[in-house]
Structure 1
Amino acid sequence: MRVADLLADPALNIRLAAPGGPGRLARPIAWCAPSEHMDPTPFLSVNALLLTNGMGLNVKDYRIWDAYVERLMSVPVSGLVFGLGAAHRELPAGLVQACEAHGLPLLELPPEVPFVLVMRHVDQLIAAERYAELRTGWELADECTRLAAGGHSLAQVLERVATAINARVAVLDHNGFELMSAGTAGGGTARTTLSLPSGGSLRFKLAIEGIKSSVVLQPLLGPVAAVIAMQLSYTLGSRSPLHSREAARFMEGLYEARGTPTPALERYAVEAGFEPDGEWGAVLIGGAGEVAPVKLRTIAWRVRVGLQAEYRTVRFMEEAGLTTLLVQRSEAGMDLMDAVRKSFQDALELSAVVSECGSLGELPLVLQLARRRVGEPGLHQAPVADLAGVVEGLPGPGLVAMARRLLAPLMSDGGPALRETLEVYLRHSGNTREACGELFIHRNTLTYRLRKIEEMLRLDLGDGEVRATCLLALKIVAGGS
């Protein structure tokens, strides 16, 4: 119901005396407020339509009219309907001048039309509009419910909502981070948000941008907000894993694989939607300490949604405290690290590791390397290789037997302490101070043990190649035991 609608009804015979400022005739009417007070503003609310006969304003001083209209504009009211006949035979010139000066629409009501007729007309139109809005809102909610129940994603539900209101809609998390969006802001300039009903600790909002100012959002999108909240609750609060069976089978196979990928692993890749010969990207997201599962899932889901805009194929697998995402790019675009960073800026209490490789044969070792790095707070790029990865990639049980034979003398009485000393010493690259600090022993004790290790193994630990061989042997034995 707009001010201009009153002029369009011939039964009311209302005449426009002052159009008000630009767009004022299109301002909505919330309710009718009859009043004869010189200052009715304490009894008014925004967009009330004021009806008056001017009984308390039978004055000729323009300043009084100007102050009266100025007070009405401070509310602001949608318009002023001035009834003739009771106190005034014609509109006061001062009132017309004040309305024109302040931009308030002034409507002249003839003596034969009572206020009650105007009020009934406005109430009927507002009631009809509210009913139409509610019906449209519930019809849209029913359609979105059918989409959600049919397995459609939250992104598809948002797309339907954006189409229905011709605006851009987005889901924001508790930090105001935009999780996903749909539509374009082409319908208008208005921006607003609706809270999504949620019983959890994380609060979400539905942001609407570019909607026409004539659209009343709460009746239209209130029911839809409940549907979106239910989808969010399932996505982020479900105790069941959300990954597909094909993606989980492929990634579990990758974590178990060593060396050359088997034909079964290549088949799993195809079934999960990947190209076995393509290049790969991996993102592992876990907690750096005690992190609520819903928080971890929220960030992992946010990263996945962000990656889907940049990559052709995105798959993920959930475990307790860890989410693994694999991606393949359709064409050159945003760097994987940059793509993840956009979704990770407000979640530094989590741990994320990003890695890339050029073949399926390399991918299992790359995933194992990245997995070992999860736990340090923040976002990190995994190194290209580490010693454990090199060892894990070495095939053959014979190599394990050779390493055990090399270290066999340290397995005798007193060996565990000597083996630990050797491992710590090599891990600290021969730094005596750091090795003593970790082992909590005196420098002389370390020197004694190292000399004994050299005698038992018949090696010179001063030789860099010997130290590298011993370190590899320790890693191989640890991995093969």
Structure 2
Amino acid sequence: MVVAPTLRTVVRRLPLKLGVLAGHDALDRRVRWVAVSELEDPTPFLEGGELVLTTGMRLDAGNAGPYVARLVDRKVTGLGFGIGLGHEEIPAELVEAAAEAGLPLIEVPRDTPFVAISKLVSDLIAAEQYDEISRAFAAQGRLTRAALRPEGAAAVIDRLAHELGGWAVLLDEAGAVRHAAGEGAADVTGLMPELGRLRRPAGRGAPASLALSTPGRHVVVQPLGARRVRGFFAVGLGRPFTPVAHTVVNAAGSLLTLAIEHGREHLSAERRIRSAVLRLLLAGQAEAGKETLELLGEALPPGPLVVLAAGGDPEAVFEAVGEGFAAADADRVVVVVAAARAEDTVSALREHGPVGVGAPVDAGDLRAGLDQADRALASARRNAERVMRFPDLAGQGLLSLLDPEAAEAFSSALLAPLREYGSRADLLESLRAYLACNGHWDAAAQRLGVHRHTLRYRMRRVAELLGRDLDDPAARAELWIALAVTG
């Protein structure tokens, strides 16, 4: 609602030559409109806040008091009485009744037409409207300039708090404070239960905004995001929000949504470039990868490098990397850091999920470094470890480098003919003893408690069933791994 002019402003306009006969203390009331009526009871046609103009055609000493009482009950702003037509002067009874009721009573001379008063009030209201629109546009311009600053959304929040003379807070999707400005901005815990109502999908009862009011505290909360809620912002004042304030808040909401959506699109494009750079580096095209990375204003760290494979939430990993190159790939984030900073980076990343750490490599050997980091990450995931370093895998044996499911499938397929050969389960145990004794017949036979000729017969059957040459070292290695996986 537009802030209407006061009755004092109307009276002071010299061309109107208006005089105040009663209600001097109430001249700061707002005049929301002018109503001309000669009815004895005009109140059914009034809304309140009007300046009622009359020539008193139906007013006399007997009904002046009730007439004033009805106007007061209707909360009109004031009564203008035109003299020189029905009355040469305002009846004393009307002046007395208005004074007792505190209703401003204004004398309108004969040469001041009622329409001149109506036009004046209309012009003043129009001027207030124009002023409100001008102030709103000016504030929107300042908010827009703030949105173009490097700080983006944070700058908009700062400007919004300054424009309204209150506080403003930017919240993430979970309701955590990302940026706050203005006195009282830190106390937003009471807003948390309300955010759930704003998280509902559009069209399913989700309000466009929430207004919360308590004595001395008025808050507006709006969700941010074009297609889904990506955050919230809240604005608080110690007084009710004016129309201009609501306009400024809505403008800020649009700018913040644009900033968030644009930022996400920019971030998505940047990460796609990083993934392309990673593919170039892994393909051995280090120079092309470095040139592309320079377009982002970045560069690979100098000196020996360490490749990390981080299995935590990508968003959290990217924020925790700090100095170094990071790119999302498959089910992990690949991080390349200078060897001197590897441990600091590992400490930051381990808080967000398992981390595999490769050995130091040169820029041209990043493929080998990533293979090591991936093997270490796989081991960390299997063993519920936060950090696993590739050099440490050597102490865990070759099997620690294998994928458990793939190794189990390989073992089952390779040894299936021996398990399916009637009930001769002794073939598996004989093969295990033969391989454990490095193919020495006497030692293996003694371990099994059988004659060496019996063992030779069994090994011939094993070779026939598996189609493998047991004198071939490669075949022996595969069979030993298969037996080790089955336990």
Which protein, 1 or 2, shows the higher relative CO under an 8 Å CA cutoff with sep ≥ 6?
1
Give the number of the structure whose alpha-carbon radius of gyration is greater. 2
